[in-house]
Chain A
Amino acid sequence: MKMNRRNFFQTLGITSLTLAIGKSGKAITNKKTNVDFKGILIDATRCVGCQSCEIACAEVNNLPEPTDSPEVGITRNLTEFQRCVVNAYDTSKGEIYVKKQCMHCNQPACDAACLTQAMNKTVEGPVIWRGDKCMGCRYCMVSCPFDIPKFEYHSANPKIQKCDMCFSKIKEGGVPACVENCPAEAIIFGTRRELLNEARKRIVENPDTYYNHIYGESEAGGTCVLYLSPVPFEELGFKTNLQNSSYPELSKGFLYSVPTIFVLWPALLLGLREATKDEPVKTIENE
C-alpha cells in the first residue's frame, strides 16, 4: 500500500475528527495546491477566431487538422480528434470567439477518480494522461465537471485524449503550442499567480471592456486555465453552475470513513456474534 503508517494514522485521526464533528474534512488541502502552478490565461476580448491554436495543437499531438471553423450557432465540441476548439458566440457585445480545452484544475476530479494514477496532476501544473497506466475505465470522464477527457471508442487500443498543456515542452522551458502560435496574444503562459495578477490588472484598467470575473479563479476549486471575457460567461457557453470548492472534496467524506469502518465493523460483528450465541445447546436441526 502506498499509504504509509504516518499517512494511515493521519487519515484515521482525520476520520475520527470527521465523525466527531460530522463534517467532511474540509480543512485538508491538497499538498500540491501550495506550489505555484503554471497556467494559461485566455482573453476572449482578443481572440480573433483564426484557429492557429487548433492547428498547432493538432500538429504537436499528431491529430488530424480541423476541417471546420467556428460559426455562430454551432457549438463545436472537443472530440477524440481535437484537444482544443475555438467557438464563436453571438453575445450582447457582438461576435466573440473563445477557445476551449482542459482547465487543468488545481485539484482535478479526473486525477482523484483515476484508480491507476494515469490521470495525474503534475507539480508543474498540467494534468497529464499516461497511457502505460490507464485501463480505459472512463471514470475520469464521468467525474470531470467540464466534460473534457475524450475516449477513442473506435479503437482496439483506445486512448484518452485531452490537452496536457504541452507538458513535455513546458518541462524543457518552452511554452504550449497554442500560446506560441496565437497571433493575437489572446493566450498567455505563466505561473498561475502572475496570470491572476495580469487578469486583475486588465479588468481594473479597462472596466468597460471586461466582465468583472476571472473564470477559473475559484470554479471547481480553482483551475490553472483562466479566462477573461467581455460578457457574462454563460453567454460564451461556460458552465456557470459549478461549485467553487474542488470536486474531489465530494467523495472525501466517504473515502475517509473507510478505515474507520474497517476497524469498527469487524469488532462490532464479532461482539454481536458472541452476544447472540446460544452456547451449550448445539442446534443441528437446520444444517
Chain B
Amino acid sequence: MNNLDHTMVKENYAGKTWKFILQEFKPKGKFLTPFNIISLPIMLLGLVLIVIRFWKGLGSITNLTQEVPWGLWIGFDVVTGVAFAGGAYVITFMVYILNIKKYQSIVRVTVLNGFLAYVFYAGALLLDLGRPWNVINPIIGNNFGTSSVLFLVAWHFLLYMIAQLIEFSPAIAEWLGKRRAHKILSGMTVAAVIFGITLSTLHQSGLGALYLMAKEKIHPLWYSEFIPVMFFVSSIFAGLSMVIFEGSISYKVFSDQISDKSHASHNSIIVGLTKICAVTMFAYFFLQVLVFVHAQNWHLLNTPMGYWYLVEIFGFIVLPMLLFILSYKNNSTFLAKTAAVLTMVGIIINRLNVTVIGFKWDAVSHYYPSWMEIAVTFAVIFTEIWVFRWIINRMPVLRDSPSWAKNHN
C-alpha cells in the first residue's frame, strides 16, 4: 500500500516535470523582434535546402568539386566554429583548475555556448556526410579506423559534448527544481572539466592534424608539420575573443537577467581576458615566425598569396594583439571588444586559408561556396542562437542560481 502510494507520488511528480517542460516551450516575450524577422526566413530556407541536399545529393546545393571535397561547411562551420568554442575549456581551466574565482560568473554561459557550438557546428559535419547512415559504424565499434585523425576528432567531439553537458547540467537541475540530481551532477563537474580540457587539447589540435596528409595541396605558407600546435594555441585566444564578444552582446540583450554583482564585475572580467589573449597571441605570433623562418619561405612573400599571408599575420594577429595590450593598459572595454572582433575575423581568415583558400590554391578551377552553402551556414548559426536564447531565458545561466542550490559548488 505504502509502496503504491510512493510510485503514484513519483508518477505525479514526473508528470509535473513534463508539464513544466512543455509549458516552458511556449515563447516568452515579444515575438516579432527584428532578429526573429531576419532569422526565421533564413532558417526556413536552410531547412528546405537541407531537404534538397539529402534528396538530390551534395552537389545539388554545394559547389564542392572532386579537387576540393571539403568546403565552407567543414572549413567554416566545423573547423572555425570549434575554434570559437574553445573559450569553454579555457574558462573552466581557469576557474576549476587554477581556482581563479573571478571568472566563475561566466562559466555557465561559456560552457553553454561551447556545448551548443559543438552540437550545431560539429553537427554540421553530419550535413556534409554523403552516407550519413553509416556514421554509426565508427561509433558502435563496427569499424574503428584508429589510424585516422578524423576518427579521433569525431570521437572527441562526441565525448566532449557529454562532458560539457555534465558541466552544464546543474543549471538544468536548478531549472527543473531537482535538488537531489543537482547535488549529484554538481559533484561530477570537476571530473568533467578535467576530462573536457584533455579532450579539447587533443581535438583542437586534431582539427589541424586533419590536414597533415594534404601536404602538397595546401599553400606552403599555411602548411607545416606544426599545424596542430598552431590550431591549439590559436583556439585559446579565438575562444576568449568569442567570450568577450558574445559576453558584451548578452550583456545588452539579456541585461535583465544579470545580477548586480555580475554587472559590477563585467568590465574587470573582460579586461582580465584581454591579458590572456595578448599573451597567447604573442606566443602564437612567435610560433608563426619560427615556422616561417624554419620553412624558408621568404621567396613566397612577394606573391599574391604572400601579401595575403602578411595581411593575416599583421592585420589580424599583431594589430589585435597590440589593441588587447592597449585595452588592458587603459582599462578600456571598447578597445577590448574591437580587438576581439578583429581577432575573430583573423581566425576565420586563418582557418579558411588552411581549409579552403589555400587548399589547392594552384588548381585551375577554384572552389567558391554557393549561396546555398552560405544560407545553410547562417541557418545553423541562427538556430543555435535561438536555442541559446531559449535556454538563457529559462535556466539560471546568466542569472543567479536559486538560493537552495548555492552551497553545492
> Using a CB–CB distance below 8 Å, which chain A residues touch chain B?
1-3, 77-80, 109, 111-118, 131-139, 141-143, 145, 147, 150-158, 239, 241-243, 247-248, 250-251, 253-255, 258, 261-262, 265-266, 269-270, 272-273, 276-278, 283-287
Bound form: Cα–Cα A129–B143 in Å = 13
Interface flags for B94-136 (1: CB within 8 Å of A; 0: not) read 0011110110110000000000000000000100111111110
Q: Is B64 an interface residue (CB 8 A)?
A: yes
Q: Do B225 and A253 touch across chains, with their CB atoms under 8 A apart?
A: yes
Bound form: Cα–Cα A136–B64 in Å = 13
Chain B neighbourhood of A270, CB < 8 A:
194
Q: Do B131 and A134 touch across chains, with their CB atoms under 8 A apart?
A: yes
Q: Is B401 an interface residue (CB 8 A)?
A: yes
Number of interface residues of B (CB under 8 A): 72
Bound form: Cα–Cα A41–B138 in Å = 36
Report which of A79, A132, A133, A273 forms a contact with B190, defined as CB distance below 8 A: A273
Report which of A1, A111, A258 forms a contact with B144, defined as CB distance below 8 A: A1
Nearest A residue to B64 via CB reads A153
Q: Do A154 and B154 touch across chains, with their CB atoms under 8 A apart?
A: no
Q: Is B145 an interface residue (CB 8 A)?
A: yes
Q: Is B59 an interface residue (CB 8 A)?
A: yes
Bound form: Cα–Cα A116–B198 in Å = 24
Q: Do B104 and A269 touch across chains, with their CB atoms under 8 A apart?
A: no
- Knowing A1-B144, A241-B216, A286-B105, say if A154 contacts B56 (CB, 8 Å): yes
Return 27 A-B CB contacts under 8 Å, by A number.
A1-B144, A2-B146, A79-B66, A113-B213, A114-B148, A115-B151, A116-B137, A133-B134, A134-B130, A136-B131, A137-B130, A138-B130, A139-B148, A142-B211, A145-B213, A153-B64, A156-B56, A239-B216, A241-B216, A248-B213, A254-B209, A255-B147, A255-B152, A261-B202, A272-B98, A273-B99, A286-B104
Nearest A residue to B55 via CB reads A156
Chain A neighbourhood of B228, CB < 8 A:
254
Q: Is B30 an interface residue (CB 8 A)?
A: no
- Knowing A147-B67, A261-B202, say if A247 contacts B213 (CB, 8 Å): yes
Bound form: Cα–Cα A284–B125 in Å = 41
Chain B neighbourhood of A77, CB < 8 A:
66
Report which of A131, A250, A272 forms a contact with B97, defined as CB distance below 8 A: A272
Chain A neighbourhood of B98, CB < 8 A:
272-273, 276
